[in-house]
């Protein structure tokens, strides 16, 4: 075989392979894939280290390491649970309107060439995994400083399996709420209402910390909490703008309204404290920021910039009122205000999405209703989603707490262990050298 024949043979082989190479990349958007890869890292950044530092700074010195361990461990176990069964339940191809089935257990069928839209399925699955991680990590804020580490781990696994995965399917995985047209772009119901309601139920069942409302329980390191809050703000861009699943105008608008709502929520909380106490606190500013972020989340793909101001303002006011009412009037020790900030914020944002999505509100107009929907019908769907998800979460959370209590011989540490601090009693370590 002469050189010319060899060249022609190699060229023929290359041409024969081109169709298979093309089919492997058919429909793949490099830009969208790159953006969702980035968003995946941003959302995990929200939990580790963002939420971890935010929460850890708000507890007392003797419990700082325990909170960091709780958030870190949740990320570990939920990642593995997502591999085994979570992705399949939430996004499997089942024809059921209530769960995705088990056909994608252990990522069965998720290979290099499998696609979700125009991005690799591996990227989509990784992105959604970070949502599954942060949701039970949010619940941690309700029971810090008084729960057994073993009880926390078992509860987080069971709760994510029985509550989070099915609700994610209902809304995002082709389930019945998504079919009805529920607007929840990035997790008002799936993340914030489930986490918030679970936190409230847990705080009520577990009872308050020893000395609650009798002795000061001030944050031990607001510098740490501010650092975590800044990471949450930045990471939330992946949370909301990444939910567009594309590097396009929808992602750009989601990022813009997310930022505006966070700023509005922070300023609103600061002004309320300024008028009431004569000073604006740093803790209030970062709490208001998170309230603005939680409230915009379900509506971030539906509203415009002016609508984001309304959402941030409303979320800031209502979450502030609820935070004080739950602690001072109801005397419920939701330690780090998970329900009044995330739960209430998710409820408010999910409700307002039905109104501000309208394209006939002038400067406050959003994207407009889906075909066949009106403001009244959309409000009906949103309220149904809020009520069903909240009730489902509350009932199952209550029974899971009881079950875990039986499994671990009591879910709460002893009074002596609580006084010593969970850093020592749970981990035989200290967050700081004394």
On whether residue 22 sits in a domain, the answer given is: no
Closest CA to 125 of 175, 166, 86: 86
On whether residue 110 sits in a domain, the answer given is: yes
Domain ranges, residue 150 = 30-427
CA atoms within 13 A on the CB side of 232: 27
C-alpha 76/C-alpha 83 separation (Å) is 11
Closest CA to 58 of 433, 432, 336: 336
Sign of the CA dihedral running 355, 359, 361, 363: positive
C-alpha 153/C-alpha 168 separation (Å) is 21
Q: How much is the pTM?
A: 0.93
Q: How far apart are the first and last CA of the chain?
A: 81
What is the 3-state composition of the chain as percent helix, strand, coil, each rounded to the nearest 5? 75, 0, 25
On whether residue 45 sits in a domain, the answer given is: yes
User: Domain count of the chain?
Assistant: 1
Closest CA to 126 of 13, 66, 37, 231: 37
Reading the block at residue 355, the tokens are 């109104």
pLDDT in tens, 180-196: 999 999 999 999 999 99
C-alpha 285/C-alpha 432 separation (Å) is 26
How many of the other CB atoms lie within 10 Å of CB of 383? 14
Query: Max CA-CA distance within the chain?
Result: 94
Q: What string of DSSP letters covers 140-204?
A: HHHHTTSB-HHHHHHHHHHHIIIIIHHHHHHHHSS-HHHHHT---SSSIIIIIIHHHHHHHHHHH
pLDDT in tens, 265-284: 999 999 999 999 999 999 99
Can you give the pLDDT at residue 22?
A: 40
On whether residue 186 sits in a domain, the answer given is: yes
* 392 within 8 A of 171, measured Cβ to Cβ: no
On whether residue 266 sits in a domain, the answer given is: yes
Closest CA to 189 of 298, 53, 78: 298
Can you give the pLDDT at residue 149?
A: 97
On whether residue 10 sits in a domain, the answer given is: no
CATH code of the domain in which 343 resides? 1.10.3430.10
pLDDT in tens, 305-360: 999 999 999 999 999 999 999 999 999 999 999 999 999 999 999 999 999 999 99
- Whether 15 has a pLDDT exceeding 80, the answer reads no
How many of the other CB atoms lie within 10 Å of CB of 311? 28
On whether residue 434 sits in a domain, the answer given is: no
On whether residue 210 sits in a domain, the answer given is: yes
CA atoms within 13 A on the CB side of 197: 24
Closest CA to 240 of 301, 305, 190, 194: 301
């Amino acid at each position: 075989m002469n050189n010319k024949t060899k060249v022609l043979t190699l060229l023929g082989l290359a041409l024969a392979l081109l169709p298979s190479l093309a089919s492997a990349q058919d429909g793949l958007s490099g830009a969208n894939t790159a953006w969702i890869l980035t968003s995946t890292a941003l959302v995990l950044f929200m939990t580790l280290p963002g939420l971890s530092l935010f929460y850890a700074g708000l507890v007392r010195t003797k419990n700082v390491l325990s909170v960091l361990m709780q958030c870190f461990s949740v990320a570990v176990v939920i990642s593995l649970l997502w591999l085994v069964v979570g992705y399949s339940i939430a996004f499997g191809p089942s024809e059921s309107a209530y769960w995705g089935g088990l056909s994608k257990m252990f990522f069965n069928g998720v290979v290099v060439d499998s696609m979700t839209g125009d991005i690799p399925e591996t990227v989509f699955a990784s992105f959604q995994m970070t949502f599954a991680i942060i949701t039970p990590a949010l619940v941690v804020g309700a029971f810090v400083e008084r729960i057994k580490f073993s009880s926390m781990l078992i509860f987080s696994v069971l709760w994510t399996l029985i509550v989070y995965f099915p609700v994610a399917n209902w809304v995002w995985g082709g389930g019945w709420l998504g079919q009805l047209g529920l607007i929840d772009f990035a997790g008002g119901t799936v993340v914030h209402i489930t986490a918030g309601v679970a936190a409230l139920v847990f705080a009520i069942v577990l009872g308050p910390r020893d000395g609650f409302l009798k002795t000061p329980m001030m944050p031990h390191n607001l510098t740490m909490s501010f650092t975590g809050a800044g990471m949450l703000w930045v990471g939330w861009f992946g949370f909301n703008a990444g939910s567009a699943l594309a590097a396009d105008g929808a992602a750009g608008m989601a990022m813009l309204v997310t930022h505006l709502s966070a700023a509005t929520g922070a300023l609103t909380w600061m002004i309320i404290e300024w008028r009431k106490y004569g000073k604006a606190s740093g803790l209030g500013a970062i709490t208001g920021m998170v309230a603005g972020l939680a409230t915009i989340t379900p509506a971030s793909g539906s509203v415009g910039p002016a609508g984001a101001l309304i959402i941030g303002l409303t979320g800031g006011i209502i979450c502030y009122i609820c935070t004080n009412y739950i602690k001072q009037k109801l005397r419920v020790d939701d330690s780090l205000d998970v329900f009044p900030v995330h739960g209430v914020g998710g409820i408010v944002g999910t409700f307002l999405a039905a109104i501000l999505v309208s394209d006939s509100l002038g400067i406050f107009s959003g994207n407009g209703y889906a075909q066949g929907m009106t403001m009244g019908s959309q409000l009906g769907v949103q309220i149904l989603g809020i009520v069903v998800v909240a009730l489902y979460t509350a009932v199952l959370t209550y029974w899971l707490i009881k079950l875990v209590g039986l499994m671990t011989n009591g879910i709460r540490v002893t009074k002596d262990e609580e006084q010593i601090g969970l850093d020592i009693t749970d981990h035989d370590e200290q967050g700081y050298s004394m």
